[in-house]
Amino acid sequence: MTCSVAIVGAGPTAIYTLNALLALRPAPFELTIFEKQPFIGKGTPYRPGWNDPAMLSNIASIEIPPLATSLVAWLHAQSSERLAGMHIEQAAIDDRTFYPRVVLGEFFSEQMEMLLEQAASKGIVVTVRTRCEVVDAISGPEGMTLRVQPHRGECFKVTFDHVILATGHQWPEQPEVSPGYFASPWPASEIEKIPATHIGIRGSSLTAIDAAVALAVAHGDFVEPEDGGITYVPAPGTEDFKMTMLSRKGLLPEADFYFPIPYEPLSICTAEAIEELTESNDTSLLDRTFELFKRELAAADPPYAQETHLASLDLEDFCEGYFSRRLSSDPFEWARQNLAEAQLNYEKKHVVRWRYAILRMHEVIESIVPYLSDADFLRFSRHLKTVFIDDYATVPHESILRMLALHHAGKLELVAVGEDYQVDPHGVSSGALLTHGSTKFHFLVFIEATGQRALSAKDFPFPSLREQGIIHDVEVSTDGGPARGIAIDDRFHPISSQIPADQLFCVSLPFIMGRHPFVQGITSSHEIGQIVAAELAAEIGQRCVTGETEQELSER
């Protein structure tokens, strides 16, 4: 019996899942891909219109997990005319360079087309349904039934043996949800229509930088003088254009730092050591993990351990100390000095060992999250998680140069608001009212730019799966415990007795962030794809051997 598989969404997670599945050489099956957009492969983070050509990705070619070809090899194969259209010089192509998001969109779209051709050559029946939105999914004994609304025509239903929900980021198509108040900075084409005024931006990470860049190029230009650097030149008549970023700590992300790829192995805080801790059912799991973290850090960089008195620090003290020097400095001056250090380290190929150790540990330590008590999950989220995110969510050097240029031009400020503040879009004619202590300020335009937050079951876009009890939130042990996202297992199946395990995979990033707090970007898509593909290949093979569905087997 031929097995049928549907992938809902055609972005990077779908690409890497299909790539891993084809590598496993499964028996022929029927594959249908549904994509709401008119094109496949680009996903929300890389599609044109949604992103301005000036917006940079924060992953270099050397970090992108392999597909049919690398990004650098693909760029070298392009015509000079196409490279010019992407504002890329052939001689400047490098595997550690950061390219615009829309360039990665073109790359991934072509990689997806090649994968589909490869699938067809292997006897897999491939159907691609673009401009088709899956509006619901219902589990039944015959399989998973999808309700599909095409761009034109009647809604229809179709049933599959296995469904992979890879719907990616969740943002409103129209971000201006009330006059002057934007729930997200995407599509960039919408916020670029904002007139020259004082604009508030909540956040200071790459998402907020994306918003600032899109606004900046709408009201001026970044110019690269012959002596190097970047300056910002406002357009005539934009004297009122100014941006204020608001964040709890009032810090810019640090500049991308040099490190060896692939990662050097850990020696103490290893996956095996963490697995041993999780299997011990120790109530002090978080603190014991932090001890492994400290030992790994001390072994990697003894001078750093001595300077910070690492051995004597508990989790909260370490995390507070991690940010302390930056918090006592002007954020733009710190960014300038940090950028100079990062540029020099790149030139010398010098590795800052403590940074590199933290970077390598974050994915290993993530595996403790499902086993933490509610209290320790909250401690982890408030403290250690922020350190890991700060370490891995560094940004391209050009992004820092642009922020410095905007600040120097008097167009950008950054304010630390801590925890005691409110942004209220209600009760004002436009934008939002900021209340910070005894100070109130009315931004005529306000943009939420804190990035994709973890979403819960109530936000899940397929209502029948909620009603069937298949999609539900992780239960918390105490009233008012921290939200922990939807309940999935380590193979990305919803945890439910109401559905055969192999019928549904949920790999939509916002909904798995409770269990996987560091899930982000292309490397996560690759890792998820490998796990799902292995499960799916086994199920396809089993079905071909038996020729029977799970329902048929249960009725024997």
Per-residue pLDDT of the chain (556 residues; tens, 9 = 90+): 689 999 999 999 999 999 999 999 999 999 999 999 999 999 888 999 889 999 999 999 999 998 999 999 999 999 999 999 999 999 999 999 999 999 999 999 999 999 999 999 999 999 999 999 999 999 999 999 999 999 999 999 999 999 999 998 888 889 999 999 999 999 999 999 999 999 999 999 999 999 999 999 999 999 998 778 899 999 999 999 999 999 999 999 999 999 999 999 999 999 999 999 999 989 999 999 999 999 999 999 999 999 999 999 999 999 999 999 999 999 999 999 999 999 999 999 999 999 999 999 999 999 999 999 999 999 999 999 999 999 999 999 999 999 999 999 999 999 999 999 999 999 999 999 999 999 999 999 999 999 888 889 999 999 999 999 999 999 877 666 678 889 999 999 999 999 998 999 999 989 999 999 998 789 999 999 999 999 999 999 887 655 544 444 344 3
Question: What pTM did the predictor assign?
Answer: 0.93
Structure-block tokens of residue 57: 């990705």
Identical fold, 3-170+454-467+507-540 and 176-253+395-448: yes
The confidence score (pLDDT) of residue 555 equals 44
CB atoms within 10 A of CB 421: 16
Report domain extents, the chain: 3-170+454-467+507-540, 176-253+395-448, 271-392
- Rounded Cα distance between 10 and 110, Å, is 12
3-state secondary structure (DSSP) of residue 232: strand
Q: Contact 134/462 with Cβ under 8 angstroms?
A: yes
The confidence score (pLDDT) of residue 556 equals 33
The confidence score (pLDDT) of residue 83 equals 96
Q: Which CATH superfamily is domain 3-170+454-467+507-540 in?
A: FAD/NAD(P)-binding domain (3.50.50.60)
Whats the size of the chain, residue-wise? 556
The confidence score (pLDDT) of residue 227 equals 79
Query: What angle (nearest 5°) sits at the alpha carbon of residue 339, between those of residues 336 and 345?
Result: 145
CA separation (Å) from 323 to 2, 55, 198, 250?
A: 56, 27, 29, 11
- Rounded Cα distance between 302 and 118, Å, is 50
Half-sphere exposure for 24 (CA within 13 Å, toward CB): 22
CA separation (Å) from 471 to 133, 256, 497, 499?
A: 20, 38, 11, 10
Q: Which CATH architecture has domain 176-253+395-448?
A: 3-Layer(bba) Sandwich (3.50)
Q: Which residues are within 8 A (CB) of 507 and not within 5 positions of it... i.e. 6 or more apart?
A: 13, 17, 164, 165, 166, 492, 528, 532
Structure-block tokens of residue 360: 């390598």
- Rounded Cα distance between 46 and 168, Å, is 12
The confidence score (pLDDT) of residue 262 equals 94
The confidence score (pLDDT) of residue 19 equals 97
